[in-house]
Chain A
Amino acid sequence: MVNIPFIILFAVSMGFFAYSLTKKIGLVRQGRPLNRTDRGGIRTAATLINAIFQKSVIRGSFGFNHALLFWSFLVLLLANGEFLLHGLIPRAAFIMLPAPVHHWLKLIFDIVSVLVLIAVIAAALRKLFHPLYKESRTAEAFIILGVIGALMLAYFGLTAFEIMMGWVPWQYAPFSALFSYVYIGLTPDGVHKLAVFFWWSHAVLLLGFINFLPYSKHMHILTAIPNVFFKLLDKPAIPQRENFESVKVLGAEKYQDLTWKDLLDSLTCTECGRCQVNCPATLTGKPLNPRTLIHKIKENMNAGETALVGEGEHQISKDAVWSCVTCGACMEVCPVFIEHAPKIIKMRRNMVQMNSDFPEELLNLFENMEQRSNPWGIAPSERTKVFSSVKAKDFNPEETEYLFFVGCAGAFDSRSKQITLAVAMLMDEAKVTWGTLGKDELCCGDSLRRLGNEYVFEQMALKNVEMFKARGVKKIVTQCPHCFTTLKNDYKQYGLEVEVIHHAQLLDELVRDGRLKVNNNHKKSVMTYHDSCYLGRHNGVYEQPRNIIKAITGKAPVEMERTKDTAFCCGAGGGRMWMEENMGERINVNRAQQALDTNAGTLCTACPYCMTMMSDGMKDLNTKSIFVKDVAEVLAEAVLL
């Protein structure tokens, strides 16, 4: 007997589903090109680990519940496939398989369906009583959970009927067998009618669910796996160079100016909220929320808006764009590897480069960078003055192993100059040969790049790369994580491939190799360590600074609650160092308090910006109970004093 109504329903559903999907794919294809199909092997492995085995999902809050649902769904794909096929071709059913296979399949489906039901209830309870963020309690979320639960119940109802008909022994579907109580007391006709009801409920819910996907956050069921496959393989996430010659619109003005992967990201976001509970901007009351940022890109695209940034309902506010510290916490915790920061930088690039639209305090920075190649606009000839008590050679590949890239803060900021000297003296102590570029050193351009002033950044990058090549530089040690990441990663786009390390890496190695001998000066000190975003999260340097602390105090640093890959930014990244912070609470004061909460006597940093922000934060908190020092300084105190 052919089920004509179902065939029609199925055809219409699939037709509409195909239409919806084509439309979404069409939207994603409007994005700019980007190569994300290289290194297929690594991509496949990453997809297996993170999507199929759910690694990136499980590591976050309530992740195992999702993994349970996901794996169950994979199993139930088989059951639902059979359900649809059987609806179309009544002869095609598991019952046609050899009895043991059929029975065992039934048993698996039965158990898995119960697991799904439990996971759905757990998810609903969590959403009600302990959500990651309150706004996640949407009607849509509960409807979807309800639909999944109802699908399971319909399945039990159907299987119970199969048991009653003797098609499946009850031992192979024990939970469905329990469910057969719903049939108790019905006439044979009533039993049949209820079974038909379950069948149609299952059919309508299933097809309805499929068709609902493309219009909801549950689109991730379709997009998450490809999104993981196409993920960024090389950290840190930096947007590509601009093509100043041929591209008319620099940065991202419209959603079409983002890459196809950016747009796919927006369709993949599940609004789980892990990003926002780790975002220093969101947590201190700034208008930026990484979750709504991605959501708005999706809405902007769906609505066919002509500008990404603005005050409209589907637009991202300028204040949100300028609030980002590019710390990367959002990207680190995102289970589907959405790249938030590069999208923000592309929007900044558009605003800065096409319209000179930026907070007014940045004008000085931009002019200073372009004219004097440092953020403060100090005369470049002053760069060498930091080396008055320590002698610095000129870099020369024959005589000096490392180019010591002092950096603007290291050369001009009075507090950071002390760190420069500590690093220099430690290198001398360990007989590491080093030289500087003297007054010829230029700013690396980090802040400009994160602030979207790509045009001026590019000029600086090209000059620096040319100079490094001309002087035969092979190994660079930097005093600042921002110089470090820019030289190491950003300059790759400009053809620089040299070894770049941060002083924490070098000093850790020197201590380990016994070239720096540690005394007992700090044996009684209790230290905590504040991760620099561009050292830690963006470049994976978590252990080296901690090793140094361990070497001098004899014990691991006491950790703040937010540490390593979920560390809290000091507030100065992404060019925010040079901007006023006049919305919400101050990020640096927040972080300083977190450090105080550890009761450590010393807060160690490894970045001049962190140093400034943490010192200022401690001043704001009016505390003198904690020293703020660079790891190089505490090491110097335990080696040189």
Chain B
Amino acid sequence: MQVIACIKQVPDTTQVQIDPKTNTLVRDGIPFIVNPYDTHALEECLRLKDRYGFKVTAVSMGPPNAEAALRKALSLGADRAVLVSDRVFGGADTLATSNVLTAAIRKLAEEDEVGIVFCGKQTIDGDTAQVGPGIATRMELEQLTLVDRIVELDVEAKKLIVRRKLEGRYETVQTVLPAMITVVREINRPRYPTVPMRLRSKEAQVEMWNNEVLQLDVNKIGLKGSPTWVSKIFSPQRDKGEMIGTGINDPKQVASLLLDKMVAKDIITV
């Protein structure tokens, strides 16, 4: 059985700025990182590998330079890395992306049964949280989002119990394999690659699949297959804060002013 980690290479958004004239992201010289939530998805796959001996395959759709993200996955212990990359995939929204990734995962499943597909809960650049559920829908997988703990996994009985971290509460749900899980950061602490693994991953092969391999209808992929497109990006104007109180001379007074303010703005209730 194999588990799949879907990972995306994203610009390091803490360093991204928006060009005020063109309203587009200034990406020049901005380093790319692996989407932080996806590192937790991969880590969970690796933990299942350590425990059950599953094969871990990392899959990404993106431009050729996204190979770096997959190489990082290999350095952390993924057994196989597939980069789905083709100009015709470009400009995809979440629907077209999940179409392509679904096709890639189906193809992987032909070789080895896929037990669980892991995704991060969302990416830090698009923030839609739609691609994971999109894959689940198209692959007809059980859909478990916002998972912060795998409570039980019984491979024989194909039973899976997970805990979902929702706002203000947890929800424990049971389902059957195969399933798609999106993870939150709390699920684990990603490992750090050892140097021998890094060196090995340098030599390792990242498979490149284009549309000749996947044979998808061009109307379902890329720009053509994308019903949504971004019409505008802008930085919201932030209201400047105000100085209240008299500083360190009277901390008590400052604290009570702050409390009043928060109550007034309905941030807290007394």
Q: A residues engaging B (CB < 8 A)?
A: 244, 250, 353-356, 358, 360, 363, 366-367, 371-372, 377-381, 455
Contact = CB atoms under 8 A, between A and B. Distances in A.
A371 B192 contact: no
A484 to B, nearest CB: 27
B195 A371 contact: no
A237 B31 CA distance: 35
Contact of B12 (A354, A355, A356, A372): A372
Interface of B: 12, 14-15, 17, 31, 33, 189-196, 198-199
A455 B12 contact: no
Contacts of A366: 192
B15 A354 contact: no
Contacts of B12: 371-372, 379
Contacts of B189: 360, 363
10 contacts: A250-B196, A353-B194, A354-B194, A355-B194, A358-B192, A363-B189, A371-B12, A371-B31, A379-B14, A379-B15
A248 to B, nearest CB: 8
Nearest to B76: A356
Contact of A244 (B17, B194, B195): B195
B195 A353 contact: yes
A526 B193 CA distance: 51
B195 A455 contact: yes
Contacts of A367: 192
A380 B189 CA distance: 25
Contacts of B194: 353-356
Given A366-B192, A372-B31, 8 more contacts: A244-B199, A250-B195, A250-B196, A356-B192, A356-B194, A363-B192, A372-B12, A379-B14
A346 to B, nearest CB: 14
A90 to B, nearest CB: 66
Nearest to B197: A356
Contacts of A455: 195, 198
B120 to A, nearest CB: 16
Given A360-B189, A363-B189, A371-B31, A354 B14 contact: no
Nearest to A250: B195
A380 B16 CA distance: 11
Give the one of B193, B196, B199 with max A CB within 10 A. B196
Contacts of A244: 195, 199
Contacts of B192: 356, 358, 363, 366-367
A445 to B, nearest CB: 15
Nearest to B16: A379
A50 B221 CA distance: 77
A371 B193 contact: no
A377 B192 CA distance: 16
Contacts of B195: 244, 250, 353-354, 455
A363 to B, nearest CB: 6
A372 B31 CA distance: 8
Contacts of B33: 371
Nearest to A354: B194
A367 B190 CA distance: 11
A380 B199 contact: no
Contacts of B15: 372, 379-381
A367 B12 CA distance: 13
Nearest to B36: A367
B84 to A, nearest CB: 24
Contacts of B199: 244
Given A372-B12, A379-B15, A356 B198 contact: no
Contact of B193 (A356, A372, A378, A380): A356
Nearest to B193: A356
B215 to A, nearest CB: 37
A525 to B, nearest CB: 24
Closest 8 CB pairs of A and B: A353-B195, A356-B192, A379-B15, A455-B195, A379-B14, A356-B194, A250-B195, A354-B194
A354 B193 CA distance: 9
Contacts of A250: 195-196
A610 to B, nearest CB: 25
Given A371-B12, A379-B15, A381-B15, A354 B191 contact: no
A250 B193 CA distance: 14
Contacts of A372: 12, 14-15, 31
- Of B190, B195, B198, most buried by chain A (CB within 10 Å of CB) is B195
Nearest to A454: B195
Contacts of B193: 356
Contacts of B31: 371-372
